[in-house]
């Protein structure tokens, strides 16, 4: 019986602390690979974030899914197995955007969505003829991709099931790698397949991992109606353009939506134009938030700093907005130029990158700015973002926001959700900042 080992790498660790910790989200992509693997294969799954890895050479193939933040660690893991003569295939967003780089650390690289090439990779591995690179078509139909969640058994994950209903995003923000990976395509899974997957779940909370759950508002509304009888409490990500439709919001709430991650990104229209997110209309932000509050849907608002029109007042304005609107939770982040994005290419052209391959650089730490911003010092920008997070997740701020009774504290269950998520994100502030990417355990 051939043996397959699937691995999800961590980002790294802080000096003196192991990076192993519980209550992470399930890595859905590897569960899909497990589902597509023929039954004659024996599968071992290891999650570097929640357990100590075992580098046993007693396996025939290792598959590692990497993102930019976890690429360095993924390469370290790959090197350990390859040193034992075990072939390694790398996939995921980062391998797709940097295939030549990834190829230097693996026997094979999967470029694009693995569904189109995984059977071929497994067969070639059995025959001892792995190709250097497997390119997958990013426009194939999303059918028959239900994951095999048995690989998660016995591991400490958040009690939230991850489910995919669509893939890609119709918009092209310059900082986002989604458009680069999926080349602007946006596809939905058949509703019947999603309903069947949901009916098989034990969890009562679902996070739809779609990059934009309302990318096709009409289809989204039909999907919301289809899942209404199932009784799940769910969250997802949504763009603001569809949140002006009160009827769509009502259908969303009836179907069990309790919260949405919404990318406000900036309160400055000029910055929104630079990032290619003109679909966000600042004058409609508060109206959208009011409509969501009426429906009982909380908002996880995200803000990005480091664009040309940001000033010291931009930080204060964003924090005031988040407090005035009593956002359930929020993220105040500086720009990160991910490889393959228009932002990354522009900053390289302008000679403003401090580390061209920041994700591999020994001096880079999580939370640092890998480029020189305009109009302010990079250290100043980093500190301003950290200060906003500290103030937003301070006890006075959390208590004030908890007093928003239409949404944040509308029921005992919502109060529990509010405090769990706020305290979880408050803890993240101290635990992740300063992590050395890819550093192995002591």
| Domain limits, the chain | 3-135, 159-437
Same fold, 3-135 and 159-437: no
**Domain covering 3-135 assigned CATH 1.10.1240.10 in the classification:** no
Residue 435 confidence (pLDDT): 86
Torsion of CA 251, 300, 266, 170, to 10 degrees: -50
Residue 241 confidence (pLDDT): 83
Higher pLDDT, 52 or 299: 299
Residue 22 confidence (pLDDT): 62
Task: Please state, in angstroms and rounded to a whole number, the distance separating the CA atoms of residues 167 and 163.
Answer: 11
Between the alpha carbon of residue 229 and those of residues 295, 423, 424, the distances in Å are 18, 31, 30
Q: What is the mean pLDDT of the chain?
A: 93
Between the alpha carbon of residue 378 and those of residues 69, 95, 331, 383, the distances in Å are 20, 28, 19, 9
- The predicted model gives 154-176 an average pLDDT of 91
> Residue 23 above 60 pLDDT?
yes
Closest to 86 measured CA to CA, from 55, 116, 49: 55
Residue 18 confidence (pLDDT): 59
Closest to 299 measured CA to CA, from 362, 236, 350, 223: 236
Closest to 27 measured CA to CA, from 7, 13, 12: 7
pLDDT confidence tier of residue 440, bands split at 50, 70 and 90: low
Closest to 196 measured CA to CA, from 159, 160, 227: 227
Residue 168 confidence (pLDDT): 85
Task: Please state, in angstroms and rounded to a whole number, the distance separating the CA atoms of residues 373 and 333.
Answer: 14
> Residue 40 above 60 pLDDT?
yes
> Residue 346 above 50 pLDDT?
yes
φ, ψ at 215 (rounded to 5°): -60, -35
> Residue 138 above 70 pLDDT?
no
Task: Please state, in angstroms and rounded to a whole number, the distance separating the CA atoms of residues 134 and 245.
Answer: 42
pLDDT in tens, 95-130: 999 999 999 999 999 999 998 899 999 999 999 999
> Residue 441 above 60 pLDDT?
no
Residue 442 confidence (pLDDT): 39
- The predicted model gives 54-74 an average pLDDT of 97
Task: Please state, in angstroms and rounded to a whole number, the distance separating the CA atoms of residues 207 and 257.
Answer: 10
Residue 16 confidence (pLDDT): 67
Residue 53 confidence (pLDDT): 92
Query: What topology is assigned to 159-437 in CATH?
Result: pyruvate-formate lyase- activating enzyme (3.80.30)
Higher pLDDT, 278 or 359: 359
Residue 307 backbone zone (phi > 0: left; psi -120 to 50: alpha; other: beta): beta
């Amino acid at each position: 019986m051939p043996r397959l080992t699937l691995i999800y790498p961590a980002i790294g660790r802080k000096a003196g602390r192991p990076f192993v910790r519980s209550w992470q989200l399930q890595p859905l992509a590897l569960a899909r690979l497990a589902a597509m693997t023929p039954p004659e294969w024996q599968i071992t799954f290891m999650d570097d974030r929640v357990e100590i890895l075992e580098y046993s050479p007693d396996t025939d193939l290792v598959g590692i899914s990497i993102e930019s933040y976890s690429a360095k660690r993924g390469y370290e893991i790959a090197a350990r197995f390859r040193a034992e003569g075990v072939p390694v295939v790398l996939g995921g967003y980062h391998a797709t955007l940097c295939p030549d780089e990834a190829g230097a650390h693996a026997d094979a690289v999967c470029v694009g969505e693995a569904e189109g090439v995984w059977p071929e990779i497994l067969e070639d591995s059995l025959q001892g003829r792995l190709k250097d690179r497997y390119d997958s078509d990013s426009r194939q139909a999303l059918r028959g991709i239900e994951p095999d969640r048995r690989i998660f058994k016995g591991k400490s994950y958040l009690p939230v099931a991850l489910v995919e209903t669509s893939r890609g995003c119709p918009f092209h923000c310059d900082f986002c790698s989604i458009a680069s990976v999926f080349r602007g395509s946006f596809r939905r899974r058949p509703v019947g397949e999603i309903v069947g997957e949901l009916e098989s779940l034990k969890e009562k909370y679902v996070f739809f991992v779609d990059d934009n759950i309302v990318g096709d508002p009409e289809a989204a509304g039909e999907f919301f109606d289809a899942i209404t009888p199932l009784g799940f409490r769910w969250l997802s990500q949504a763009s603001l353009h569809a949140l002006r439709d009160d009827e769509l919001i009502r259908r969303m709430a009836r179907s069990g939506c309790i919260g949405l991650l919404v990318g406000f990104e900036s309160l400055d229209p000029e910055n929104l134009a630079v990032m290619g997110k003109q679909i966000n209309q600042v004058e409609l932000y508060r109206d959208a938030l009011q409509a969501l509050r009426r429906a009982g849907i909380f908002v996880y608002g995200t803000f990005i700093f480091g664009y040309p029109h940001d000033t010291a007042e931009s930080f204060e304005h964003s924090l005031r907005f988040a407090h005035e609107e009593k956002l359930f939770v929020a993220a105040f982040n500086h720009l990160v130029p991910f490889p393959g994005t228009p932002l990354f290419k522009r900053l390289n052209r302008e000679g403003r990158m401090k580390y061209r391959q920041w994700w591999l650089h020994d001096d880079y730490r999580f939370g640092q700015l890998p480029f020189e911003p305009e109009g302010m010092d990079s250290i100043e920008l980093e500190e301003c973002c950290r200060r906003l997070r500290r103030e937003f997740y301070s006890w006075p701020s959390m208590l004030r926001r908890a007093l928003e009774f239409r949404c944040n504290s509308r029921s005992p269950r919502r109060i529990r959700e509010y405090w769990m998520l706020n305290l979880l994100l408050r803890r993240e502030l101290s635990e992740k900042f300063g992590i050395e990417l890819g550093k192995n355990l002591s």
